[in-house]
Chains A and B, each alone.
Chain A
């Protein structure tokens, strides 16, 4: 368990001189636009931030874009407490709103 989160907050310095992105091909996927099987699933940033895309490498048609899962390790950094629940202090205002005590916005 411990190995997982620490891998995403501290990294060793890369031991390569140049860095290249991985674009692993997804087997048995066909591009709906050009029928190629060169469909890859890889890490990108779109306008909303870190995402995973399924894009045809032949014609560049974007088949799908989804939020990364934990297994994707993307973006590289993830906070230790990312999945922890918020404490009452952190969400005091929201709690008050939800309970109907504050005039809402």
Chain B
């Protein structure tokens, strides 16, 4: 067998590994696994021990292990990311914070804390801890962990102040600050944080958990050093980083040189004045295995809080990660082939004193934008965009239930959204943006601890972007409270401009908020997400005649002009339902296997009407049998329609019920359909 058949600049043979790293292949791989393991153990510690609902329920944390280079820069060799953006932000943050502090000022047992976006953090509630690890008197490694505190001071509990026009209205800003010195907590730093947040018990618990996590990571790293020696562990770090780099460069090498561009629109800046959409524009220029991403052409930073201040320069790399090399543990090596240009003063490089309270939507849209761009590079890897919205609801208030003494409470619940269709299958339902990955709330526990009642999380009928492979289904989440002193903040976008389909796929349903009057409706009367419109008030989103959610219709026509509401009141007797947008479909819906369409109708995910108009599939209502001949005729007709051709309708249910009787009839009709099942 001729070895040159397999020769490639990205392939390392066993002798190559030995020559380059001074390690045999097994040792190199074992050290690589050991570094990842250290981060796994850190994650276990943090998840179990942290206090904030946001950490263990939402997975809003990251833990990482970094190698220190001779020039003082650091590279993240292993990460266990809850929310995936930490896998990218940690790399810059550790570098920027240590650069400012000065490595020559760090000693054993020191820990730095920082939450500042301009030093690489995300927004003020995310506190990052950084701890140096010394071996034989030399700074060899750095450990970092980050988690989201439930409150960080500022006018809005939870820290998501969409109306903020400056960082002074956001919360406590912490520059790189010593939080332990020689392993002893720095009293003034602890006090500074605890005395400026509404939930000091939680904050202290989280800080302790973060300390414990770093100690666990250090212990594990030292075991590795004891087994192999620091020199070999550092060689193993180089091997680990280079491996990720090789993989990414190999994928890039298959991309034709050139420039690939796209743009996305965010609904608004969150200032609740039906303002202008915000445009994010980017291009990626490929030359060999080097890629330069440029955000030039993006709108300037928002006047309200929908802006980010550094992190898109690392978070944007989720685009190539998902498209080019998803199936490999993330580390800084995968970031080496990229340069990012982000012009100061733009939406993605906001200048102080701007606020970035609502960074989440810039991140989510940015991820969609990057997937769009990188999907153009290798057509068979392209996926349709996802929901492009975080879909999170933050709640706060005081517990007015009997016996709860007006205790303050707070929490976050994510609804997920969906990913777009892919070349080989439907997108996943109920899953957050690629740049996030969050977990869902334990509803029954939540109801013990807070007055919040989660009345449901389920798919909305007809919400998925149609396609040969449709997007996944997003969920609606319904909130009720047993305390009149409850406010909700929403991290939402894609209310105005639905996620587009790809290669002929249809757009997904957009995001909207509604409020149901429980007494009038006689309970939480819903059917596959549909509510009786007569008992519903449109809060925000696009609504057509009669208050029916209709993509592209009256944006700003609801009670509020933006979806990015802060401290929106939720009163007893009301249920606020947050309907998350869907991703886009992939490929023409007219090419979707009619059996798959029938299956979705059978499962009450797609209506018979939408099967007809959206997919060109004719299904007999009573039996749910596909009329194959009629389907072929209809599809031929639609394909040949006009010069511009047929376009899939934007996903949405077209005839919402008005009364509870209407709703009951919908349900009754569904009970009668498809009684002769073909298969199950």
A55 in contact with B108 given A49-B95, A75-B310 (CB within 8 Å): no
A3 to chain B, nearest CB (A): 16
Q: Is B335 an interface residue (CB 8 A)?
A: yes
Which residue from A18, A59, A91 sits with its C-beta under 8 Å from B297? A18
Closest to A15 in B: B300
Interface of A is mostly: loop
Query: When the two chains form their complex, are residues B108 and A45 in contact, meaning their CB atoms are under 8 A apart?
Result: no
- Report chain B residues within 8 Å CB of A93: 106-110, 181-182
Q: Is B301 an interface residue (CB 8 A)?
A: yes
Contact flags B292-305 to A (C-beta < 8 A → 1, else 0) = 10111111110100
Query: When the two chains form their complex, are residues B75 and A76 in contact, meaning their CB atoms are under 8 A apart?
Result: no
- Report chain A residues within 8 Å CB of B314: 45
- Report chain A residues within 8 Å CB of B519: none
Closest to B349 in A: A76
Query: When the two chains form their complex, are residues B332 and A47 in contact, meaning their CB atoms are under 8 A apart?
Result: yes
- Report chain B residues within 8 Å CB of A97: 107-108, 134, 137
Query: When the two chains form their complex, are residues A44 and B95 in contact, meaning their CB atoms are under 8 A apart?
Result: no
Q: Is A71 an interface residue (CB 8 A)?
A: no
Instruction: Choose, from B48-56, B337-345, B624-632, the stretch at the interface.
Output: B337-345
Tell me the complex Cα distance, A48–B104, Å. 18
Interface positions, chain B 114-135, Cβ under 8 Å from A, are 118-120, 133-135
- Report chain B residues within 8 Å CB of A13: 300-301, 303, 354
Tell me the complex Cα distance, A90–B351, Å. 28
- Report chain B residues within 8 Å CB of A47: 75, 91, 332, 335-336, 338
Which residue from A46, A55, A59, A77 sits with its C-beta under 8 Å from B338? A46
Which residue from A14, A48, A75, A82 sits with its C-beta under 8 Å from B300? A14
Chain B interface residue bracket vs A: 35 or more
Closest to B297 in A: A18
A77 in contact with B351 given A46-B338, A97-B137, A105-B134 (CB within 8 Å): yes
Interface of B is mostly: mixed
Closest to B301 in A: A14
- The listed residue with most B CB atoms (<10 A of its CB), out of A14, A43, A86, is A14
A104 in contact with B134 given A44-B339, A48-B73 (CB within 8 Å): yes
A82 in contact with B100 given A11-B345, A19-B296, A43-B341 (CB within 8 Å): yes
A86 to chain B, nearest CB (A): 4
Contact flags B1-37 to A (C-beta < 8 A → 1, else 0) = 0000000000000000000000000000000000000
Which residue from A46, A89, A94 sits with its C-beta under 8 Å from B339? A46
Q: Is B346 an interface residue (CB 8 A)?
A: yes
Interface positions, chain A 10-34, Cβ under 8 Å from B, are 10-11, 13-14, 16-22
- Report chain B residues within 8 Å CB of A105: 108, 133-138, 140
Contacts A60-B287, A77-B119, A105-B108 known; 20 new A-B pairs at CB < 8 A: A10-B353, A18-B299, A21-B342, A44-B340, A45-B340, A48-B91, A48-B92, A49-B92, A49-B99, A50-B96, A53-B339, A90-B105, A90-B178, A91-B105, A94-B107, A95-B107, A96-B182, A97-B107, A105-B133, A105-B140
Q: Is A5 an interface residue (CB 8 A)?
A: no
Interface positions, chain B 296-354, Cβ under 8 Å from A, are 296-301, 303, 309-310, 313-314, 332, 335-336, 338-346, 349, 351-354
- Report chain B residues within 8 Å CB of A62: 290, 339
Interface positions, chain A 69-105, Cβ under 8 Å from B, are 75-77, 79, 82, 86, 89-97, 102, 104-105
Q: Is B285 an interface residue (CB 8 A)?
A: yes
Q: Is B175 an interface residue (CB 8 A)?
A: yes
- Report chain A residues within 8 Å CB of B138: 105
The tally of CB-CB contacts under 8 A between chains A and B is 162
- Report chain A residues within 8 Å CB of B309: 77
- The listed residue with most A CB atoms (<10 A of its CB), out of B95, B285, B294, B341, is B341
- Report chain B residues within 8 Å CB of A35: none
List 14 A–B pairs whose Cβ atoms lie within 8 Å, in order of A's numbering: A11-B353, A14-B345, A14-B351, A18-B300, A19-B299, A44-B340, A46-B340, A47-B75, A48-B74, A60-B286, A90-B178, A92-B181, A94-B107, A105-B140
Which residue from B99, B182, B303 sits with its C-beta under 8 Å from A92? B182
Query: When the two chains form their complex, are residues A19 and B336 in contact, meaning their CB atoms are under 8 A apart?
Result: no
Which residue from B74, B95, B106, B310 sits with its C-beta under 8 Å from A94? B106
Closest 10 pairs (CB-CB, A-B): A93-B107, A105-B134, A60-B287, A94-B107, A104-B137, A45-B313, A47-B335, A14-B345, A11-B351, A77-B118
A94 in contact with B104 given A45-B339, A105-B135 (CB within 8 Å): yes
Q: Is B70 an interface residue (CB 8 A)?
A: no
Tell me the complex Cα distance, A49–B91, Å. 8
Query: When the two chains form their complex, are residues B75 and A75 in contact, meaning their CB atoms are under 8 A apart?
Result: no
Interface positions, chain B 273-288, Cβ under 8 Å from A, are 279, 281, 285-288
Closest to A92 in B: B181
Q: Is B403 an interface residue (CB 8 A)?
A: no
Closest to B340 in A: A45
Query: When the two chains form their complex, are residues B73 and A10 in contact, meaning their CB atoms are under 8 A apart?
Result: no
A21 in contact with B134 given A16-B345, A46-B338 (CB within 8 Å): no
B9 to chain A, nearest CB (A): 17
A64 to chain B, nearest CB (A): 12
Query: When the two chains form their complex, are residues B339 and A96 in contact, meaning their CB atoms are under 8 A apart?
Result: no
Query: When the two chains form their complex, are residues A19 and B96 in contact, meaning their CB atoms are under 8 A apart?
Result: no
Tell me the complex Cα distance, A2–B101, Å. 22
Query: When the two chains form their complex, are residues A55 and B352 in contact, meaning their CB atoms are under 8 A apart?
Result: no
Closest to A102 in B: B108
Q: Is B102 an interface residue (CB 8 A)?
A: yes
Query: When the two chains form their complex, are residues B118 and A55 in contact, meaning their CB atoms are under 8 A apart?
Result: no
- Report chain A residues within 8 Å CB of B345: 11, 14, 16, 19
A104 to chain B, nearest CB (A): 4
A75 in contact with B118 given A47-B335, A90-B178, A93-B110 (CB within 8 Å): yes
Tell me the complex Cα distance, A59–B259, Å. 12
- Report chain A residues within 8 Å CB of B300: 13-14, 16-19
Interface positions, chain B 55-85, Cβ under 8 Å from A, are 73-75
Closest to B279 in A: A18
B193 to chain A, nearest CB (A): 18
A21 in contact with B296 given A47-B338, A60-B287 (CB within 8 Å): yes
- Report chain B residues within 8 Å CB of A45: 92, 310, 313-314, 339-340, 342
Query: When the two chains form their complex, are residues B339 and A92 in contact, meaning their CB atoms are under 8 A apart?
Result: no
A14 to chain B, nearest CB (A): 4
A21 to chain B, nearest CB (A): 4
A49 in contact with B96 given A19-B343, A92-B182, A105-B136 (CB within 8 Å): yes
- Report chain A residues within 8 Å CB of B135: 105
Tell me the complex Cα distance, A72–B138, Å. 32
Query: When the two chains form their complex, are residues B341 and A44 in contact, meaning their CB atoms are under 8 A apart?
Result: yes
Closest to A49 in B: B95
- Report chain B residues within 8 Å CB of A102: 107-108, 182
Tell me the complex Cα distance, A46–B341, Å. 9
Tell me the complex Cα distance, A16–B344, Å. 12
